[in-house]
Amino acid sequence: MTEEFQKLLEQIGVVKTELDGVLVKLVEARRNYHASPSEQAEAALDDIQEKASHLQNEYSRLIALLPAASGLPPEYFESLSLPADSARRNDDHLDRANLTADQIPASAYVDDYLAAALERVVSLLPGGWLEEESEEAARAHPLSQPDAFLSLTKGVRRESEHCGIHRLRQTIYVARDYLNGEFFYDQFAGALLVPTLTKLALQGHNLREVGGERDERLDHLWRGPSSQVDATFFELLTAAACVEKGRSVDFLPATYEKSPDLRCHDPIPLLIECKRQDALSQYELGEEAIMRQLFVALRGEAQKRGLCGTFQLELLVEAGQIDIADVVSRFISQRLAPNPSRKLSYTWGSVAFIPSASRVSLPETTRLYSPHMLKYLFGWESDLPVWDGICCSVDAKGEPELDLAVSPIALIWRNDSDKALKKRSWAPINLFSKASLQIPPGEFGIVYVNYIEGARAEVSNMRLAAYAGRLQEFEHSDKIRIPISLLVRLYPRSLGHGQPDLIESSVQYLSGLYGDKELFDFFPSMIFTDVSREDDEQ
């Protein structure tokens, strides 16, 4: 490198150091002004803001001089000039179709860490707490009973999300069942809960470095309501990930007033608020309830006629508008068509029927309703569904594993009506809005929003587009600053014979008014799945 280039680097370093110091003073000046507005406080804020703007402009000017001073070809710097958020975000991973097991390399294997993780988490609990509710409630035994059936919507089983016992007990029991090879291990709950519990334990050494109300937040996992456990997991893991990035963070005390979760002390003082969306919306639950009713009625009529196979439903209206008896009648009459698998259309949508034998030998023994079984019997893709949901049953005769499926029947459905698509792809912008209201006047804040994404590709991509669109239109008080925010999307699903698999894909958002893309270097994007090999040595 040239001497001019070296001097330029030294100048940049000096300006950057001065700018970092001024930014800290700017945050304090904003906080002081909004806490006690006065002419003196306003003048101090204007003064420090002017200094920060001057230094930022000087920093940008010096950076722009680097290519010419380096003596390197311009193409070298062009390769480095991609926006920082674009390089980290990886646009290929925005599209749902690219977020599958064969395209996302594994960062770790949960089996390598789970035994130690369970021991660590259980050690945090008071004696006897875990045993206050039965482990049987966390198992999938009911699925093997007569007349039982599996129902999934957006890849989620409602009973696994609301199993009737405390969510932390369920998490521990499910993880223990997976580790011990329990036949009735709930694979649909375990896809999310097993990796989450493991990650929390692996982050133990980083959590110990979190200050403030850390122990109270950990205790909230078992002391607090079951409905808040998933959100508390997210808050704890985000705090630990910040420490892993080198940040100094404290948990703030929970108050009756709205307050953020964390205070970060560097590189500039700011607050962090974490929000997590429920796995299923009320609309999705309502639609699934109707599909359950339809399946029960359809299965009854099919069994009367000795029919087995897969009934496919494509709706052009919202589920609440269909006449269940009419749809069942159309499905049953489909068996008489020259080609039952060729769909017939009606005013509300279309139906098709793919018949099967009443007894189907499976390629190998597998867990009841495992991804292997669902794909072989009904064409259901667990990794990347092309339908909105499935209701299905086989006569399991109480067995947890099968090599022969008796009386296999399934209803799989997709809703392509404009209203349904809009409601199913509802974006969690309301969580961002609530988070912004928890940042006090005068403060800088970062917002993390987390949700489960198990919908088919079209709906998933529509949700992301809707979130981005509404975020661009979002307005907040001019008394706060949110320079960056992150959307943490999780794709939990069981694969193979029921093994848990979790893909995480985060999207970074930068304020066009006052955001600084370099902040993304200081804060974590991956919360649930990044595992460094040194973690297991802690």
CA separation for the pair 482, 436 (Å, rounded):
8
Q: Which of 33, 57, 55 is nearest to 46 (CA)?
A: 33
Better pLDDT: 198 or 55: 198
Confidence of residue 68 (pLDDT cuts 50, 70, 90): confident
Contact 409, 392 (CB under 8 A): yes
What single-letter DSSP state applies at residue 316? S
| Residue bearing tokens 């979002």 | 474
In this model, does residue 5 exceed pLDDT 90?
Answer: no
Contact 505, 97 (CB under 8 A): no
User: Per the omega criterion (within 30 degrees of 0), is the bond before 267 cis?
Assistant: yes
Segment (H or E) for 4: helix 3-35
Contact 276, 264 (CB under 8 A): no
Average pLDDT value for residue range 407-417: 97
CA separation for the pair 194, 177 (Å, rounded):
10
* Residue 351 CA to its chain's centroid (Å): 33
What single-letter DSSP state applies at residue 194? H
Phi, psi angle pair for 166, to nearest 5°: -60, 140
Q: Which range in 8-17, 79-88, 374-383 is most confidently predicted, on average pLDDT? A: 374-383
Mean residue pLDDT across the chain: 89
Contact 521, 247 (CB under 8 A): no
Other CB atoms within a 10 A radius of the CB of residue 248 amount to 13
Contact 334, 309 (CB under 8 A): no
CA separation for the pair 179, 110 (Å, rounded):
10
- Whole-structure pTM value: 0.86
| Residue bearing tokens 């409602």 | 158
Read out DSSP for 415-468?
E--HHHHHHHT--THHHHHHHHHTSPTT-BEEEEEEEE--S-HHHHHHHHHHHH
Over residues 462-486, the pLDDT tens digits come to 999 999 998 888 877 778 889 999 9
* Residue 435 CA to its chain's centroid (Å): 17
Q: Which of 463, 454, 414, 482 is nearest to 272 (CA)?
A: 482
Tokens of 95: 């599209």
In this model, does residue 275 exceed pLDDT 80?
Answer: yes
Over residues 112-125, the pLDDT tens digits come to 999 999 999 999 99
In this model, does residue 21 exceed pLDDT 90?
Answer: no
Alpha carbons within 13 angstroms on the beta-carbon side of residue 78 total 3
CA separation for the pair 338, 494 (Å, rounded):
37
Over residues 211-234, the pLDDT tens digits come to 999 999 999 999 999 999 999 999
Pairing of strands 349-355, 344-346: antiparallel
Angle CA(87)–CA(91)–CA(95) in degrees, nearest 5? 155
Tokens of 28: 């304090």
CA separation for the pair 99, 103 (Å, rounded):
6
As a whole-number percent, the residues of the chain with pLDDT over 70 amount to: 92
Beta bridge partners of 311: 353, 411
CA separation for the pair 198, 178 (Å, rounded):
12
In the chain, the N- to C-terminal Cα span, in Å, equals 41
Confidence of residue 1 (pLDDT cuts 50, 70, 90): low
CA separation for the pair 266, 263 (Å, rounded):
9
DSSP, collapsed to helix, strand or coil, labels residue 83 as coil
Q: Which of 351, 315, 322 is nearest to 336 (CA)?
A: 351
- Spatial neighbors of 210 by CB under 8 A, at least 6 apart, are 239, 240, 243, 249, 250, 251
